[in-house]
Amino acid sequence: MLISIITINYNDVKGLERTMESVLSQTFQDFEYIVIDGGSHDDSKELIEKNQEHIDYWVSEPDSGIYNAMNKGIKKAKGEYLFFLNSGDDFTEKYALKKVVKHLNGEGFVYFNINKIDGKNFAIKRPPEKLTFKYLHSDLPPHQSTFIKKDLFDKYGGYDERLKIVADWKFLILALLKYNSSYKYVDAVYTNFYLGGISSLIANKPIMQKERQAVLDSEFQILMNDLSEFFEQERTLSNLRNSKKLKLLVKLGMLNEF
């Protein structure tokens, strides 16, 4: 089974070097490697040219954003599964891909845990085994630990380039909820995600929320009506639980804990 690993990069030669070294050192070699550079002004192009004999396809030219670059990679990919490991992120070890492949058995999405690294600190992000609309409303399995069947892109198109931050989320939520694509969770860590990218910057949170809300309102309006009511009830219950007067009544035995 052929896997397509796609790395996009723009002016991050150090991050690109880390990612490329991680990919090219994998013991499992039945993959094609695609590098899409956005016309970087640092030494990224020179680094790619230095390693081009190990890269199946690469380009260094201006693009209109992250998802335009990803779509370029998708169009060139020939693998059964596509995996986006963007500049700066890497595998946990050289045997990682070999271990991953054993779990790729035909599901539309196969996703794993991931190490979130912020300087010297790190934490493991564990997506849920069973995905729900409540979870997907505001989160998704990280694309740096999600393998996607190529035929999903063939059927439903690429990433929505009108969106700046959440096009990968939109593709996943539509594929799962609208087209009933299959998925599988594996409780293991094979990749590292380094904070600092566009989706992890606090300044971009309002844009992310606005884009997500627009997608939810246009694609899942009826479900959003129910979910909005649920969240309102959840907030009310949370406020009640935090009420000092109610906590006192529970402590005095005058009210059952809820």
Q: What is the per-residue pLDDT across 172-183, written as a single tens digit (0 to 9) for each? A: 999 999 999 999
**What is d(CA 72, CA 38) in angstroms, rounded to the nearest whole number?**
11
- pLDDT given at position 97: 97
- pLDDT given at position 222: 75
Q: pLDDT at residue 199 above 50?
A: no
- How many domains, in total, are found in the chain? 1
Q: Please name the residue ranges forming H helices in 77-175.
A: 96-101, 133-138, 150-156, 167-173
**Confidence at 189, pLDDT banded by 50, 70, 90:** very high
- pLDDT given at position 245: 60
- Condensed to tens digits (0 to 9), the pLDDT of residues 103-128 reads 999 999 999 999 999 888 889 999 99
Say which residue the tokens 């505001």 belong to: 138
- pLDDT given at position 224: 74
- pLDDT given at position 229: 67
Chain CA centroid to CA 173, Å: 12
Evaluate whether residue 108 is within a structural domain. Answer: yes
Work out the average pLDDT over 149-161: 96
| This prediction's pTM | 0.85
Evaluate whether residue 138 is within a structural domain. Answer: yes
Burial level of 105, CB count in 10 A (0-12/13-18/19+)? exposed
Q: How many CB atoms lie within 10 A of CB 22?
A: 22
Evaluate whether residue 250 is within a structural domain. Answer: no
Evaluate whether residue 45 is within a structural domain. Answer: yes
- Condensed to tens digits (0 to 9), the pLDDT of residues 207-255 reads 888 999 899 888 888 777 777 666 666 666 666 666 666 566 556 665 5
Q: pLDDT at residue 8 above 90?
A: yes
CATH code of the domain in which 181 resides:
3.90.550.10
Q: Which helix (H) or strand (E) holds 119?
A: none
Evaluate whether residue 109 is within a structural domain. Answer: yes
Evaluate whether residue 224 is within a structural domain. Answer: no
Residue 172 structural domain: 3-200
Diameter of the chain measured on Cα atoms: 75
Percent of the chain with pLDDT over 90: 71
Chain CA centroid to CA 137, Å: 14
CA end-to-end span of the chain: 52
